[in-house]
Amino acid sequence: MTPAATREIRTPWDRAPAEAAAIEVAPGILWLRLPLPMALDHVNVYALDDGDGWTLIDTGFNSGRSRAVWEACLAGPLSGKPVGRVIVTHHHPDHVGLAGWFHQRGAEIRMPRTAWLMARMLTLDVQPRYLPETLEFWRRAGMDPTLLAARSAERPFNFADCVHPLPAGFNRLEEGAGIRMGGRDWDIRMGHGHAPEHATFWSRDDDLVIGGDQLLPSISPNIGVYPSEPDADPLSDWMQSCARLAPLAREAHLVLPGHKLPFTGLPTRIDQLAENHRSALARLLGHLDEARTGGACLLPLFKREIGPSEYGLALSEALAHLNHLHRAGQVRRWLNDDGAWLWQRTG
């Protein structure tokens, strides 16, 4: 059995690189950060030295500030070599936002097929107002009526607001395939739940893992349900991914995550990432001794009050847990007079 002291989650660096600066986390691998205009105010990106150029892992938002940071990086820590490839771990805007911008400068784009399809579709789907189907989805979710009324009158977030147009073609990353980056051979392993087909990379040559948002050290990735698939069960996908990746994890692995700090202690962290949701499901099930809407499930699920800026993501995560319990036959649901689902524990 591994001694308890070595099972701790540790962060070898106590601070992140400064804006437009880089930290070498392993030979030939630079860690950089891009700013985000939200509570989670950064995304980690990595530059891998391929000898004649750089491979980038993820890109940050397409914004004037992000482009300025990248220009400074290209003139600073990445100077002297072109960006030959951009690897996108998954389709979320903070990871794919500038892939098309780099492609226009000559970089190849490689990403999972589902990630490309989702990102390209969402970038082309620009809506001036929330669609009726979307508003109905939030009504059924039990969204606070004041917030729902406000959303019905405002312009929604569109992917195109912060994702550069993607090219018509790309090169695919596939589960179980290999890829050479930064002087190393890597195995590609896909996770699911936070995003469909989320690519992670496991070095065959040393103890490095590029985890994206699938493997984070101190926060849990959002597992949400959205209007595009209102009855989805991404939580089952997440738990199955944790079970598939756990046998690959070693204590010595240095994980390079999409947010927060690089860390060791991956076996423990994968256990925690699954246990967080098992505990949340147990709390939620106890809360559903009485019939509740999804909007009435946030406090027991998150164990704290949810502010307006977090509300949408929190409600989508509540729906993911409710759908999971519903598919397992542990709760039933029906529509109330206001058109919202009521959920209650069976038996």
**Spatial CA neighbour of 110 closest among 56, 185, 163, 31:** 56
Residue 22 belongs to a domain with what CATH number? 3.60.15.10
DSSP annotation of 263 reads B
Average pLDDT score over the chain: 96
Kindly tell me the sign of the dihedral angle through the C-alpha atoms of 180, 182, 186, 189: negative
Handedness of CA 23, 25, 26, 28 (dihedral sign): negative
> Range of 296's domain?
4-345
In this structure, the number of other CB atoms found within 10 A of the CB of residue 275 comes to 11
- Model's pTM, two decimal places? 0.95
Instruction: State the DSSP string of 169-206.
Output: --EEE-TT-EEEETTEEEEEEEE-SSSSSEEEEEESSS
Integer Cα distance of 305 and 164 in angstroms: 35
**Calpha distance 107→77 (Å, rounded):** 18
Quick: pLDDT tens for 101-159: 999 999 999 999 999 999 999 999 999 999 999 999 999 999 999 999 999 999 999 99
Give per-residue burial for 296-330: e unless 16+ CB within 10 Å, then b: bbbebbeeeebeeebebebbbbbbbbbbbbbeeee
Residue 3 has pLDDT above 70, yes or no: no
Dist. CA 169–CA 108, nearest whole Å: 10
Task: Work out how many domains the chain is built from and give that number.
Answer: 1
Outline where DSSP puts E strands in 108-258: 108-112, 171-173, 178-181, 184-191, 198-203, 208-212, 254-257
Each residue's pLDDT tens digit, 152-207: 999 999 999 999 999 999 999 999 999 999 999 999 999 999 999 999 999 999 99
